[in-house]
Structure 1
Amino acid sequence: MKHDAGRTHRQKRELKESQLSEIRDSFDLFDQDGLGTIRATDLVVMLRALGSEPQKAELKRFLADVDDANTGQLDFDGYLQIILDKLAEKPTADEVAKAFRLFSGGDNESGQISFERLKQIAEQVGEQISDEELREMIAEADTSGTGIINNDDFAKIITSRHRTA
């Protein structure tokens, strides 16, 4: 594997245990035979789940970085590196707008994410999040004090982790 093991280790240490566990769980979903590898083609599914529509050139670059033997298989460390690299990328304005439309309901004329909508999304993806935790999430993101997340609030949250990058 060609990926930078030192960088992967540093990024891995910065993850919360719950985040690493979620990434491991997503890997395990694809590792159906339990051998500790997944098919490179499954990577497309995961990247789409992260809101990305990967191009062939991007996929080839990712795979070249982690599958230098060209086996078509990824171990967890290679998978983790790709996911960390993708998460570290600053989203484009179009990607943020697309994600906001998905969270706000797309055809929602108000262009806002309410408590009810956030709760619906959590239920749809199978997340067990209490009402209190959902309210805390909204309070943290809501700069207007209305209890609703607007497009500007959403964009700030999505891009905030990239300010120091």
Structure 2
Amino acid sequence: MPSFSGNELTNEQIDELRDAFERYDLDANGTLSAKDVRLALISVGYEITEAELYDLIHSVAVSDEQELDLQKFMRMMAPRMAHVDSDQTLCRTFSIIDRDRDGYVSVQDVRAIMVVLGEVVTDDDIKDICRAVDMDGDGRISLRDFISFMHSPI
């Protein structure tokens, strides 16, 4: 499997990136403009701000180059593909924990998953877990809270 700056891409990821690149290379000149790069990124599940976009482009572009060829696009995306995949896994995990499918993990959901995992926890332990994962402090655990917590340093 090709490696881009130390990040291995699977054949599936290479195909996905190539498809995204070709889909947004509307004039078929073999390069993507910054706007097209952003659309391609969104199509593979990577939402970014405009500032982040230009930082990404400059991480692989030569001097003030504003367009990327396929090779540079893949080199730019290689470290991010693992992030996208892990977020997809976290979304699936969240949906399993969110038993009533209301978009939030409740105290009861946390208690149920702890039972399934065979963990013996007190009500205070569960409240502490919920407080720790509730990253925005609104009293409930959303998908965004869950992903932020899982990516936060321990």
User: Normalization by structure 2: what TM-score?
Assistant: 0.49
Larger Rg: 2
Larger RCO of the pair (alpha carbons < 8 Å, separation 6+): 1
User: Normalization by structure 1: what TM-score?
Assistant: 0.46
